[in-house]
Amino acid sequence: MGYLERWVRMRLGLCCLFKEEPISFRTTTARALSTLPRGEQLRKLSHICRNNAENLLRAVDTVARLGIGAFRIMSPLFPRMTHPEVGYSLDQLPDGQGIAQVLTTVRDTAQKKNIRLSFHPDQFVVLPSPHPAVVASSIQELEYQGRLAAAVGADVINIHVGGVYGDKGQALERFARVFAQLSDNVRSRLTLENDDVSYTVTDLLPLCRQLSIPLVYDVHHHRCKPDGLSVEEATRLAESTWQGSGREQYCHLSSPKFGWKGTYPKAHADYIDPADIPSCWLGRAMTVDVEAKAKELAVLRLMADLQQKRLDKIVPGSSEVGDAGGGVTLNR
DNA sequence: GCATGTCAAGTTGTG
DNA sequence: CACAACTTGACATGC
């Protein structure tokens, strides 16, 4: 653990997939399953789930080997598990016990190698929806990911608020009411992220404080949908929502594919442009998920860039970023 | 084999 | 009013 590594305290995270490492996750469709008798469905699903659990284990080993400190687990790790027609539970699968054992190994391995695991349910989870059926399936999906998170030791299930329906305040109130119905398992892990269309950090802060929900700060979304806060202010305010949670602050970072002046800055680039790294993040203890199409290659390049940045700043007299902690490295 | 259209789900904004 | 964009492949089908 050299002096060099101690400077940058960020724990960098990989999102879901690998570009070059031979790790892949299988899936299936509800349509394909629906043509099979139930027994065949469960056998097919069992194979896919076993494959995915084993690849998750290899993913944890691999990110640890690469010096990456966090991994976001793809939502369909167990595909179609909450589907109304072809849904299933692990103990219905022929190899359900074996799959559960692999998940336990994932948890132990992640703990031993200090890899932080998280989930990010996708856009279909919309807690403030006015449609009861949408809320019900959203809760079901969250509870599924909550059980999975508990099994593998993930401490974050991060979502967006979702729709506005013409009245942000009322939507946030509905969110709070549904939040109260969630299990402790989900509630203790749930976090809220600012998005690039509707809900800014400013919009989310009161709700996050009221319900003690940590705020995941996505700086790219913030830049696409500004709210008057500077990046520093947003980072600091988001950090305050993590205090008392017993967990390290979580942020997201990406670069625009077509540049900030392009017609569509929301699209993610293959790599992170070092110019997009908020300088106020340097030297802070936080987890940063790297949302970039080149996947692990992008995280590795960012790590190298950050260390280079450290070299630039190491010149005597330049101490704008403090080093408060000891023994803290890139891949804590 | 290989190319290509499809895949559960919600919401918003654009053409 | 229809459709793409959110994440992104990989599956399933048909030549």
Q: Quickly give A145 CA vs C14 C1' distance in Å.
A: 36
Mode of pairing for the β-strands spanning A190-193 and A156-159 = parallel
Q: Quickly give A27 CA vs C10 C1' distance in Å.
A: 7
Asked if residue A72 lies in contact with residue A119, where contact means CB atoms within 8 angstroms, the answer is yes
Which nucleotide is closest to the Cα of A292 by its C1'?
Answer: C7
Averaged pLDDT, A218-230 = 93
Averaged pLDDT, A287-304 = 93
Asked if residue A13 lies in contact with residue A72, where contact means CB atoms within 8 angstroms, the answer is yes
In this predicted structure, what is the pLDDT of residue A310? 63
Q: How confident is the model at residue A326 (pLDDT cuts 50, 70, 90)?
A: very low
Instruction: Say what percent of chain A tops pLDDT 90.
Output: 75
Summarised one tens digit per residue, pLDDT across range A248-286 is: 999 999 998 767 665 566 777 889 999 999 999 988 999
Exposure on the CB side of residue A51, measured as CA atoms within 13 A: 14
CA angle A165, A236, A259 (to 5 degrees): 65
Name the percent of chain A in helix, strand, coil, to the closest 5: 45, 10, 45
List bases, strand B, within 7 Å of protein CB: 6-13
In this predicted structure, what is the pLDDT of residue A269? 85
Mode of pairing for the β-strands spanning A70-73 and A287-290 = unpaired
What's this model's pTM, rounded to 2 decimal places? 0.91
Q: Quickly give A27 CA vs B3 C1' distance in Å.
A: 20
Lowest mean pLDDT among A207-211, A239-243, A326-330: A326-330
Contacts of A32 (CB under 8 A, 6+ apart): none
In this predicted structure, what is the pLDDT of residue A145? 94
Which residues is A250 bridged to in the sheet?
A287
The full set of domain ranges for chain A reads 194-332
Lowest mean pLDDT among A33-47, A207-221, A302-316: A302-316
A262 vs A182, higher pLDDT = A182
Q: Quickly give A260 CA vs B4 C1' distance in Å.
A: 33
Summarised one tens digit per residue, pLDDT across range A122-159 is: 899 999 999 999 999 999 999 999 999 999 999 999 99
Return the structure tokens found at A33.
Answer: 């399953």
Residue A61 CA, chain-centre distance (Å), reads: 18
List bases, strand C, within 7 Å of protein CB: 5-13
- State the average pLDDT for chain A: 88
DSSP summary character for residue A315: S
Question: Does domain A194-332 fall into CATH 3.20.20.150?
Answer: yes
In this predicted structure, what is the pLDDT of residue A5? 54
Q: How confident is the model at residue A324 (pLDDT cuts 50, 70, 90)?
A: very low
Averaged pLDDT, A97-118 = 96
In this predicted structure, what is the pLDDT of residue A283? 86
A257 vs A288, higher pLDDT = A288
